[in-house]
Structure 1
């Protein structure tokens, strides 16, 4: 199965290198995506541009792909399910939940000079970054790509209720499946509250398991793809 891999904020497609290698050995075809504004040098990219890149990859896939997304990009995977519900076998959401219709995509941190830079480790201290040592943190910072404001403040538009029919797995790194279910039950993830086929997978890691637990993450995604 083709498995599209979408990194979250500040990341390009290379963040999936070790996961992709492990997935190939498990018999799947990983397709890491580098999004406009996150590795192609563009500072004018928009959320629509990023979604167009994801949809192009869905359309080019052999058969129905599984769309995997990390953190803020979980919304991109969900937008793809909204635009191509009949073309996607499954959505896997790692460490994040889809943003609701009408809300900004990822307006989380200060914007300056038209971009949202990596804000440093302060907002991520605790479970998010506990498994990143000093060297890994320096490497992350050195490679972090400032995300254009046209992406972060782009407005999410969802329209096709068939997205709720697309099977979904929530991969839970810095939180547990029980905590994820509690968030959904409390109304903090309204899109997933309406998903008709949702599973959870536990992963003992911080917020960036593709960096710290690539083999384990690959096995979880391969199992999800097999179930699809």
Structure 2
């Protein structure tokens, strides 16, 4: 049986090319009367970091755990992690290394990765970073539904190139306890019915979903960046998920 209670600290992590700023619209709507919510910028996505292009997935996972420590996250007071898109790689590492510190993980048009996964295995070593592609190309890779010209221009202007090491590094996972963390899957650009079918079929991108012990699935139909296209609705989903106990 599922109930609700005062929700723990909520940490929001956006995907490739994005920093904490990507969650501004969601934070405006997020009800934090009984919880704290904070968005973070992963190492490698701070445009002012002169060494950002050499940051790794290990650096990113360590930064999340450092933030846990600063916020007083513990086994008795675990956090809710919200991971959008490519943030699934470092967040999967965090879940593997310290599942006891996570009350619930909310995957936003994303999901857990399997051990050995590499985001861009064919990216040449000499490529130091991967900039945001032209929007017409990006739209062929992920749905831009719900994003107007002003939002797209802000995206283009504020995007930070993704570090090459982050894209090339394999994820090594060894702790099956990561699969016991209560999970909410927010399906936006791909309907949940299709996601679950792909998971059951063993599709490489979704196979780990089938291994989750406690899974809730929510459809929030829109494009791949719901923090901009449906921020109020996404905030409600996040607050509800963070407040749950199973």
TM-score between both structures, scaled by the size of structure 2: 0.86
Query: How big is the shift at 1:190?
Result: 2.3
Query: How big is the shift at 1:31?
Result: 1.4
- Equivalent position to 1:199, from 193, 216, 238: 216
Greater relative contact order: 1 or 2 (C-alpha under 8 angstroms, separation 6 or more)?
2
Q: Which runs of 5+ in 1 are unaligned?
A: none
Rg larger in structure: 2
Taking the aligned partners of 1:126 and 1:155, their CA distance within structure 2 comes to 22
What is the number of equivalent residue pairs in this alignment?
227
- Equivalent position to 1:78, from 92, 111, 118: 92
1:128 matched residue in structure 2: 143
Preserved contact between residue 75 and residue 97 of structure 1 (Cα < 8 Å): no
Equivalent positions of 1:46-65 (< 5 A) are: 46-61=56-71, 62=73, 63-65=77-79
TM-score between both structures, scaled by the size of structure 1: 0.92
SS in 2 for 1:86: helix
1:168 matched residue in structure 2: 183
Taking the aligned partners of 1:147 and 1:76, their CA distance within structure 2 comes to 13
Give per-residue Cα distances to partners, 1:156-179, cap 9 Å, x unaligned: 010111111101110011121111
Taking the aligned partners of 1:211 and 1:138, their CA distance within structure 2 comes to 12
- Equivalent position to 2:45, from 33, 38, 52: 38
Please provide the CA RMSD for this pair: 1.9
Go from structure 1 to structure 2 and tell me whether the alpha carbon gap of 1:18 and 1:27 turns closer, same or farther (over 3 Å shift).
farther
Preserved contact between residue 4 and residue 57 of structure 1 (Cα < 8 Å): no
Taking the aligned partners of 1:176 and 1:27, their CA distance within structure 2 comes to 31
Q: Which runs of 5+ in 2 are unaligned?
A: 1-7
Taking the aligned partners of 1:18 and 1:72, their CA distance within structure 2 comes to 20
SS in 2 for 1:43: helix
